[in-house]
Amino acid sequence: MTLKYDLVFLLSLVALAYAFQQNAIVTETFTGQRHYVDRATGHDLISFPFFNLSDPEVLAYVVKGTIHSEADQSVDTRFKFEGEILAISLNGQSLDLNAIKQNYGVERLLYNEAGYVLTIALRAGKNTVEVGARADGDTVLFQIEIVRDSDDLIKLLCVIASLGLLIYFFIFDTLQPSRLKYYLMATIGCCLLLLLLSIKEHPFILDEFYHFLQLMSLIHQGELYEGVTPLPGYHLLLAVFGFIFDQFSLPFFRLVTFGISIFSIGAFAFAARGLGHYRTQTLQYVFFPLLFPHFFLLYTDVLSTTLVLLCMGFLLRDRFHLAGVCGIAGVLVRQNNIIWLVFVGLYILWRKYRFDLRGDNLGNALVDTSFALLGGIAFVVFVIANDGVAMAVSQAHPSYQLHLGNIYFLLFCAFFLFLPLHLDHAGRIYRLLRLRIWIVPCCGICVLFFFYTFEADYPFNYNRLLLRNNLLHWVVADPWRKLAFGLCAAYAALSTAVTELKREHLLLLYPLALLYLLPSWVIEPRYLIAPLVLFNIFRKPRRPQVEFALVILFIAAALYIFFGYQGNSFIL
């Protein structure tokens, strides 16, 4: 009976319509302005009074933005600031903070990781919120979050369940009608489009601001902005679209990035199809949690990943020159993509020549790897001329240094992201340890090495408004938590060791992924995207139940992270 597929499709559309009924969302950028208190006249130089001003000439900030509400309603809002919250104003009216101080049992609203929750009465339309805070430095870090309630959780579960039903039939039902594929594509397309609409007017999210400044500098001054480290390939592409459509706003550039994201799904399918199985893994890519929020944001990661996928797709089809071209284009977006050009060269030498370069093989190998070689030579010239890899703020991204932090973080994240796969590998890991008992003490030594060397010492990793930083410092603060972190990473490494890849030459991924991550000092989830996405392409699929569990896990994690960004709850 095929009617069930039509009913499930209709239910999925109803679930999406219900889930994306927005209540209150942040709609405009919160901007901070610095002010000094004028003690000579007894007046302060800000738009509404501060409380608890005890220091003469205190350095203070006003952070201002808007929250859109569809109707008059009360919303719980969480405030987090690096400093002391001194006042909050809603639509020009100062709010009394005595109640919130009593609720939290504090005299001063200083930063804490949980933030301070205040119920504010919103009117229909735009509501202007101003928050006064003081800080010791030249800037103030802030986060204003709309607190999600149980209704939002129900909506999230509805989306997961509706997508899960369609994907279940798509994976397991051997008698599925051809229209089921189009139902699934339509549902996922509607979901992605609704997510885009819900975030396109959101204020800048973290580094989006600097990428936008880079775009404005290229468009209006024809020069690079000094605060952006990647090469400007991504920004030049977006600027071209801006000139074509005469649009230069943040929502427009997010829309262009979304278009690149749709193309990247095809690029993934193209690469995965070069190794056989691709349908289920493509679904996993669509909702890959670390990349998914960036489908809708002004970041380089989607274009960078797309070019890496195209590079691998051509390489797996033995189109070596096209692979080299895509690899070079990837370097123009993110410098560390040079590692995947190295992958191209080594893969060709292993797969086609078995590293035997005697006789005519040497000349043929030079022809096959010519684009990879030219890209590598050009990159070396760039590094020498630029005196480093980063285009700007080289002190924040120092060259010629090696750090293990991202490797530890990669294994830790992989443990949870691929948890169904790791659980399915438990038997294989047990047999491996029985056959090679020496691996057990080696793992113990590695965990001890991690225990005594792991640090989150990069300055940006002290920004407590980022979820990963709070996690890292929470782990480092307690030896038992640190040990648990290390054991998760060790298990993920063992699971990876027993994972079968589709071709032996693809084992190059592991050492080159380490080289990809080693130069980065800052621990950043976005740096893990390329290695993990390629791992998911290269591995042999497991039982359908395991692959289905991975899809559902990815959908749940991706949507949870997205709504965290959209509601200002957290940023990875």
What average pLDDT does this structure show over 415-442? 94
- Lowest mean pLDDT across 195-204, 231-240, 265-274, 374-383: 195-204
CA–CA separation, 535 and 190 (whole Å): 28
CA–CA separation, 231 and 214 (whole Å): 11
The pLDDT mean for the chain works out to 84
- Confidence at 140, pLDDT banded by 50, 70, 90: low
More reliable by pLDDT, 286 or 107:
286
Q: State the pLDDT at residue 155.
A: 78
531-571 pLDDT per residue, tens: 999 999 999 999 999 999 999 999 999 998 988 887 777 78
What is the secondary structure of 63-77 as a DSSP string? EEEEEEESSSEEEEE
pTM score of the predicted model: 0.87
What average pLDDT does this structure show over 88-107? 83
Nearest to 541 by CA among 167, 274, 280: 280
443-490 pLDDT per residue, tens: 999 999 998 888 887 777 776 667 888 888 889 889 999 999 999 999
215 has a pLDDT exceeding 80: yes
Give the SS3 label for residue 494. Answer: helix
CA–CA separation, 421 and 435 (whole Å): 21
347-387 pLDDT per residue, tens: 999 998 888 888 888 999 899 999 999 999 999 999 888 88
**C-alpha distances out from residue 246 to 200, 225, 252, 260, 296, Å:** 18, 21, 10, 19, 20
What average pLDDT does this structure show over 55-82? 72
Q: State the pLDDT at residue 396.
A: 60
305 phi/psi in degrees, rounded to 5: -65, -40
CA–CA separation, 534 and 540 (whole Å): 12
Contact 314, 323 (CB under 8 A): yes
277 has a pLDDT exceeding 50: yes
Q: Tell me the CB-side half-sphere exposure of residue 439, using CA atoms within 13 A.
A: 16
Nearest to 91 by CA among 48, 46, 127, 145: 127
Residue corresponding to tokens 């123009």: 332
- Confidence at 49, pLDDT banded by 50, 70, 90: very low
Give the SS3 label for residue 39. Answer: coil
143 has a pLDDT exceeding 80: no
Contact 203, 295 (CB under 8 A): no
Q: State the pLDDT at residue 35.
A: 40
CA–CA separation, 473 and 456 (whole Å): 7
Q: For residue 233, what are its two tokens?
A: 């390939």
